[in-house]
Every structure is written in structure tokens, then in C-alpha cells.
């Protein structure tokens, strides 16, 4: 379609913005034009020099990457997810500390006003934005009665603050164990697991890394990746719990893997190493080292661990493997003002498993460390229980797993 097949809306035609006024008395006074083409209306806005420069650089970047110039039928921003994924924009605005009421208005209207931009937006759209600001103020005013927006906002703020506090305390406590029990015994550059304490040190450093990852993932709202990380912490908890409940677990299932003097890994028929089976170097006796997480959970003294395996472990495993059942979870984005931030909930679950792990690790110690951790764990458990109660009280976020976790924290 050539530029001669389109025209600007006539002065006495009804303005396309929806105000009901004629074009001459409405948007024609703005710094844009309403264009009609084959019965369809669109706005034509003159770009400023800065935006023109940015777009030219972007087009050049695309050309360098794909080896061709953008064509007329190319969308300018193919490489960015569609508006359904607008939650990413919300997170970016929050990082920039844009007032929450303005973010709410943007989420509802799809625009955000600036002093320079009002001349390029129809008055009716400007009014919609201001109406959304007023709506947010009403929803956040407790004198108007409780609203889901108010409730969600307050819980998100609490979870975010508490996660950071527990993150710092847990990474400190895991480091405390390493400094107290490992530092003067092991050569960190050549670390080896020779006993239960060494294994706990390995779980501590791994948990620190997992919590560090969770911190970054929370900042970017990557809920599925947080659940995958939580899965590793849950496994570590079950391993150390098994060490405490089964005195032979380490010698039978873990130590042979690192005891090269007495054992060697078996070789499969096609010449590959079987890391789940070892052969005693003298007797040639074979030992199965395969560990089932399900068995660890079902052998636990805590019935809640079996429930957590069925409710949590199966679900989180979807995000570790290529499981088509997880596809909807990756594409789905919940309402950031009506639903508690799911990445914060996932992070809280990771914190909880870390507390359970630390509790089990402390049993290995008979020093002041055990007393310190016992105090910390008891206090933190008492704080976590009402947090899960708040989440489970939300009509949208309510989930059976929160009740199970609360029961496990009280066990």
C-alpha cells in the first residue's frame, strides 16, 4: 500500500480515539496524526532524534546478527516477548523505583505518562491513566475495606524483606559450619569427602551456591528455575537426614564412590563407567550405590517428607527435565497485583528446606555450633509458620503444600 492510499482523518469526522468529539476539536491539536487506511485507523507520531538514533542502531544490530536488513513485513521488535509477558516490564519498573501506583496504572492501561509525552497521547487515554491512579489509591486505602491488591502488596513486601534476611543468615550459618569443622582439616583446593562431616561441608557449600542463585533468580522473577534449585536443597536435606537416621548409610552408599583404594567403578558392556555400582578391588564383590530420593523420603521419620516428595519433588522435577507438563508454567504469567509473587513463594520454600538441612547438619556437631544453630532454627521455624499461613490465606495462592510445610516445621 502506497502513501497515496492513506489519508489523515478529516476535521469533521469523529475522532478515532473514542472521545466522541470531532477530530478538529480533539486529537488534531496533539503532536500526532490519526491516519485511516482501508478503513483502519492508526496513529502516526514523529520520532525525536534520540529515539530515531536508538532504532537505527537496533536495525543495524539485527542486520549484523542475521546478515540482512529488516524488511517491510518484519516486526520491529520480533526478539522481544509479546505483551502477555508484561510482568518483565513491571519488574524493570520496580527496580527503577517507579512509584507503585504509576506501575499499576501502566499495567491497567498499557501506558505511562511523562510531561513530554502527554502531547502525543489522546486526552481520553490520559484520563484513563489518571483514573487508574485513583483506583489504586482506593484499593490501597484500608479504610475502604480489604482488597486483594492491598493484601498482595503487603505480603509481597514482607516476603521480599524476610527472604533477604534469611538468605544472609543461612549463608552465614553454612559458612560457619565450614569454618568450624572443615577449614583446618581439608585442603579446599583438593577437597575430598572422607566422612560424614566432609559430606556435610559439601552440602553446605552447595547450599550457599544454590541460595546465591536463588537471590539472583528472585530479582528476575524466574520462578521455575528457583524450583529447580530448591530441588537440589531438598535432596541434600534428605541425604543428611539419612546420615543421621541410618548409621551405615555413609559407608554403604557414599564412601565407596570416593574410596579409590578399596573400590573401582564397574564398566558396562559398552565400555562406559557405571557410577551407580562399584567393585571391591580385592574380593570383586559388587555393590549397588544407586540412591532413590523417593526411598530417602519414604524412609524418613517425618511423614511430611513423604508428602513433600509427592507434592513438591514431582512438581519441581518438571523444571529440571524436559517435561512437556511444565510448558504452561513457563508461558503463564500471573497478575502482579492480584497474586502473590510466585518467585518469592518459591524462594521461601528454598529457605525452608535450607533450614531443615541446617538443622540436620547441626546434629553432626557436638560443639557450640549445635547450640547456636538449634537456637537459630527454632526461632526461624516459629517465624516461617505464620508466613505460610498468610500465603495459604490468599484465595488465589492457597495450596496444599503450604499446610504440609507448616506441619513439617512443627514436627
pLDDT of 85 reads: 59
The model's pLDDT over 272-307, given as tens digits with 9 standing for 90+, comes to 999 999 999 999 999 999 999 999 999 999 999 999
Consecutive H or E run containing 382: helix 368-392
pLDDT of 4 reads: 53
Consecutive H or E run containing 37: strand 33-37
Instruction: State how far the Cα of 160 lies from the Cα of 83, in Å rounded to an integer.
Output: 26
Pairing state of beta strands 7-8 and 33-37? antiparallel
Of all residues in the chain, what percent carry a pLDDT higher than 90? 74
Q: Assess contact for 367 and 180: CB atoms under 8 A.
A: yes
Per-domain boundaries in the chain? 1-70, 81-145, 148-246+299-410
Query: Residues in the chain, how many?
Result: 411
Compute how many other C-beta atoms are within 10 angstroms of the C-beta atom of residue 292: 9
3-class DSSP state of 13: coil
Kindly state the cell numbers that stand for 241. 537426614
Instruction: State how far the Cα of 313 lies from the Cα of 341, in Å rounded to an integer.
Output: 21
pLDDT of 323 reads: 85
The segments of the chain whose pLDDT lies below 70 read 1-4, 82-86
Which residues are within 8 A (CB) of 358 and not within 5 positions of it... i.e. 6 or more apart?
Answer: 170, 173, 174, 177, 373, 376, 377
Instruction: State how far the Cα of 335 lies from the Cα of 397, in Å rounded to an integer.
Output: 12
Q: Assess contact for 18 and 128: CB atoms under 8 A.
A: no
Instruction: State how far the Cα of 155 lies from the Cα of 386, in Å rounded to an integer.
Output: 12
Q: What DSSP string describes 147-178? A: -HHHHHHHHHHHHHHHHHHHHHHHHHHHHHHH
pTM for the predicted model, two decimal places: 0.89
pLDDT of 316 reads: 93
Q: Assess contact for 16 and 34: CB atoms under 8 A.
A: yes
Closest CA to 168 of 136, 214, 124: 214
pLDDT of 78 reads: 76
Amino acid at each position: 500500500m502506497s502513501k497515496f492510499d492513506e489519508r489523515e482523518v478529516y476535521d469533521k469526522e469523529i475522532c478515532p480515539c473514542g472521545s466522541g468529539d470531532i477530530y478538529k476539536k480533539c486529537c488534531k491539536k496533539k503532536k500526532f496524526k490519526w491516519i485511516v487506511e482501508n478503513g483502519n485507523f492508526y496513529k502516526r507520531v514523529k520520532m525525536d532524534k534520540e529515539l530515531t538514533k536508538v532504532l537505527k542502531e537496533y536495525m543495524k544490530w539485527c542486520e549484523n546478527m542475521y546478515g540482512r536488513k529488516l524488511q517491510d513485513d518484519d516486526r520491529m521488535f520480533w526478539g522481544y516477548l509479546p505483551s502477555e509477558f508484561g510482568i518483565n516490564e513491571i519488574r524493570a519498573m520496580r527496580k527503577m523505583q517507579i512509584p507503585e501506583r504509576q506501575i499499576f496504572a501502566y499495567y491497567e492501561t498499557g501506558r505511562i505518562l511523562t510531561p513530554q509525552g502527554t502531547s502525543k497521547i489522546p486526552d481520553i487515554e490520559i484520563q484513563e491513566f489518571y483514573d487508574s491512579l485513583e483506583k489504586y489509591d482506593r484499593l490501597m486505602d484500608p479504610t475502604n475495606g480489604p482488597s486483594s491488591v492491598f493484601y498482595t502488596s503487603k505480603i509481597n513486601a514482607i516476603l521480599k524483606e524476610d527472604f533477604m534476611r534469611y538468605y544472609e543468615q543461612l549463608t552465614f550459618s553454612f559458612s560457619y559450619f565450614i569454618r568450624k569443622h572443615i577449614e583446618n582439616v581439608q585442603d579446599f583446593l583438593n577437597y575430598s569427602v572422607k566422612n560424614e562431616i566432609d559430606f556435610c561441608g559439601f552440602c553446605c557449600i552447595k547450599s550457599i551456591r544454590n541460595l546465591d542463585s536463588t537471590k539472583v533468580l528472585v530479582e528476575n522473577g524466574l520462578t521455575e528455575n528457583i524450583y529447580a534449585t530448591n530441588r537440589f536443597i531438598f535432596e541434600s536435606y534428605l541425604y543428611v537426614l539419612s546420615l543421621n537416621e541410618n548409621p551405615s548409610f555413609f559407608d554403604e552408599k557414599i564412601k565407596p564412590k570416593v574410596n579409590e583404594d578399596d573400590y573401582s567403578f564397574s564398566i558396562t558392556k559398552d565400555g562406559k563407567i557405571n557410577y551407580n555400582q562399584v567393585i571391591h578391588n580385592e574380593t570383586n564383590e559388587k555393590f549397588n550405590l544407586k540412591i532413590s530420593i523417593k526411598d530417602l523420603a519414604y524412609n524418613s521419620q517425618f511423614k511430611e517428607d513423604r508428602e513433600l516428595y509427592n507434592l513438591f519433588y514431582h512438581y519441581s522435577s518438571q523444571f529440571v527435565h524436559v517435561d512437556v507438563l511444565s510448558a504452561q508454567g513457563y508461558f503463564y504469567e500471573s497478575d502482579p497485583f492480584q497474586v502473590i509473587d510466585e518467585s518469592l513463594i518459591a524462594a521461601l520454600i528454598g529457605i525452608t528446606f535450607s533450614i531443615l538441612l541446617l538443622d540436620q547438619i547441626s546434629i553432626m556437631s557436638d560443639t557450640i555450633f549445635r547450640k547456636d544453630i538449634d537456637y537459630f532454627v527454632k526461632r526461624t521455624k516459629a517465624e516461617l509458620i505464620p508466613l505460610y499461613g498468610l500465603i495459604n490465606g490468599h484465595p488465589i495462592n492457597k495450596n496444599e503444600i503450604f499446610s504440609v510445610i507448616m506441619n513439617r516445621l512443627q514436627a
